[in-house]
Amino acid sequence: MTAPTGGPHILDDLAWRGLIAQSTDLDALRRDLDAGTVTLYSGIDPTAPSAHIGHLLQWLTLARFQRAGHRPIALVGGATGLIGDPKPTSERTLNDRDVVAGWVDKLGAQLRPFLDFDGANGALLVNNLDWTEGLSALDFLRDVGKHFRVGRMLAKEAVSRRMESDEGISYAEFSYQLLQSYDFLELYRRYGCTLQTGGSDQWGNLTAGTDLVHRVEGRSLHALGTPLITKADGTKFGKTESGTVWLDRELTSPYAFYQFWIQAEDAMVGTYLRAFTWLSHDEIAELERLTAEKPQAREGQRALAREVTALVHGEDEVARAEAASRALFGRGELAALDAATLAAAVAEIPSFTATRSENPTIVDLLVGSGLASSRGAARRTVAEGGAYVNNTKIETEDWAPADADLLHGRWLVVRRGKRNAAGVELAGT
């Protein structure tokens, strides 16, 4: 991959996309970027079997630098993941070494599609356990620990918040900052890495790394912090009622992933398009205009969901998700959906389980699913022509499903009117 011609400078592009929250010295960084290829890194700790969309932002930031002609290093923390950076209120549970090693492999496989590992500025994938595991405690204290001042470490926000909490902080988590800083020193020595990127909540750790390299090597390096993406009300981004939005399809289905983005608030669509897509400035500006002028059309949300889902899961899953969304509300064929997509779609709407032995009627299904508040209301829905099962209008209140009506042998999609749908799993024989 070579540096592209034309287009905005990488720092100008990042600024336009709202991806620069903090920097050690932007002018100096610009000079170094203009002088030639810069090697940079960002790290992720294996504290779960999958990355989430917060990690995706960091990987895309690395990819943006690579497309501008620079060399990214993706670090998976097989060492730091054994300790864990300090959480705001409590100690992390230490995971088994074999579990962490397995997560390292999974995260490495997840991030590979986002970077180009070939060519003159091909990406590197590294594990900090490689240079940490053989380091003795004495050597670490002599070569790294002596360069840190406890007072400054205590002043770091993540540490000070824990010091003020009832639980306090263990020496292990207190030392996390030294381990991450040592990564920057090793990557500078091994690969000439001069820039670290990460979330602004990691700013204390990022600058601790630049301080260590300056003390040991006498070289001033760079740190760049990206903002923490939030919802319109300022609450945490990437959380739903069912939990974190993961990149692993087994933890968050492609359909649920698509729905997360399609449900983005109008006020945040532009922010998400800028941060998580490869759309051009002009394309995003047009979508922002459409969202402001015609929010009911949800053009921005649809483009956002298509782009990010395709990026993570591929174009085929986008097509499946869109087909499922249409079919759930009567604009497509439910029977054409594969079992996994249908199950994922049903999981995103109200649902309940009925038994075949009960021989439930449409009235039972409407009430059981919550689509009707009472049996009388359900009967009125049927009489008024507003009851549907698998997108077929039900015209009699004693209608009951036959085996042939079950989608993939188990599901019914019940709908009241155009906008209210629920899933029914018919169990038993």
Q: What is the CATH number of the domain that holds 400?
A: 3.10.290.10
My answer on whether 63 and 200 are in the same domain is: yes
Q: Minimal CA–CA distance to 387: which of 405, 403, 371, 401?
A: 371
The whole-angstrom distance between residue 189's C-alpha and the CA centroid of its chain comes to 31
Ordered per-residue pLDDT tens for the chain, 429 residues: 333 446 799 999 999 999 999 999 999 999 999 999 999 999 999 999 999 999 999 999 999 999 999 999 999 999 999 988 877 777 888 899 999 999 999 999 999 999 999 999 999 999 999 999 999 999 999 999 999 888 888 887 778 888 888 778 888 888 889 999 999 999 999 999 999 999 998 998 999 999 999 999 999 999 999 999 988 888 878 877 668 999 999 999 999 999 999 999 999 999 999 999 999 999 999 999 999 999 999 999 999 999 999 999 999 999 999 999 999 888 889 999 999 999 999 988 999 999 988 899 999 999 999 999 999 999 999 999 999 999 999 999 999 999 999 999 999 999 999 889 999 999 876
Is residue 102 in some structural domain? yes
Tokens of 276: 């998580």
- Tokens representing 217? 């090597």
Q: Which residues pair with 389 in a beta bridge?
A: 392, 414
Alpha-carbon gap, residue 410 to 374, rounded angstroms: 25
Residue 86 belongs to a domain with what CATH number? 3.40.50.620
Closest CA to 363 of 372, 350, 355: 372
The answer to whether position 342 is within a domain reads no
What CATH number did the domain enclosing 314 receive? 1.10.240.10
Q: Are residues 246 and 300 in the same domain?
A: yes
Task: Say if 357 falls within a structural domain.
Answer: yes
- Rounded-to-integer distance, Cα 79 and Cα 60, Å: 23
Query: What is the pTM assigned to this prediction?
Result: 0.89
pLDDT at 310: 98
Overall domain count for the chain: 3
> Is residue 334 a contact partner of residue 407, using CB atoms and an 8 Å limit?
yes
Within a 13 Å sphere around the CA of 133, how many CA atoms are in the beta-carbon half?
11
- Measured distance CA(132)–CA(257) in Å, rounded: 36
Whether residue 286 is found in the same domain as residue 206? no
- Look at residue 2 in the predicted model and tell me its pLDDT: 37
CB 76 within 8 A of CB 43: yes
**Which of 299, 329, 359 is a domain's end point?**
329
**Residues 56 and 262: beta-carbon distance below 8 Å:** no
Residues 223 and 239 reside in one and the same domain: no
CB 81 within 8 A of CB 48: no
Q: How many CA atoms lie within 13 A of 243 on its CB side?
A: 6
Tell me, yes or no, whether 76 and 145 share the same domain.
Answer: yes
Last residue in a domain, options 280, 300, 329 = 329
User: Distance (Å, rounded) from C-alpha 255 to C-alpha 303?
Assistant: 15
Structure-token pair, residue 401: 């499903």
Is residue 423 included in any domain, yes or no? yes
Whether residues 389 and 402 fall in one domain? yes
Cα separation of 12 and 30, whole Å?
Answer: 10
Task: Show the domain range for 382.
Answer: 349-429
The whole-number pLDDT of residue 415 equals 95
Strand pairing partners for 421? 415
- C-alpha torsion 323→326→327→330, nearest 10: -160
One domain, residues 236 and 325: yes
Burial of 135-154, coded b for 16+ CB within 10 Å and e otherwise, reads eeeeeeeeebeebbeeeebe
Nearest Cα residue to 172 out of 109, 112, 94, 100: 94
**End position of a domain, from candidates 228, 261, 279:** 228
Are 21 and 133 in the same domain?
yes
Tokens of 79: 């060492």
**Same domain, yes or no: 311 and 368:** no
The pLDDT of residue 6: 60
Do 182 and 238 fall within a single domain?
Answer: no
Is the CB of residue 223 less than 8 Å from the CB of residue 235?
Answer: no
Residue 30 φ/ψ, nearest 5 degrees: -60, -40
293 domain residue, yes or no: yes
Residue 390 near residue 334, CB atoms below 8 Å: yes
Three-state SS at 405 = helix
In a domain? residue 383: yes
**Is 77 part of a structural domain of the chain?**
yes
* DSSP string for 264-289: --HHHHHHHHHHH----HHHHHHHHH
Q: Measure CA 132 to chain center.
A: 28
Residue 340 covered by a domain: no
Task: Note the pLDDT of residue 93.
Answer: 83
Determine the Cα angle at 128 with ends 125 and 134, to 5°: 135
**What is the biggest distance separating any 2 CA atoms in the chain, rounded to whole angstroms?**
83
Q: Are residues 379 and 299 in the same domain?
A: no
Q: Are residues 279 and 372 in the same domain?
A: no
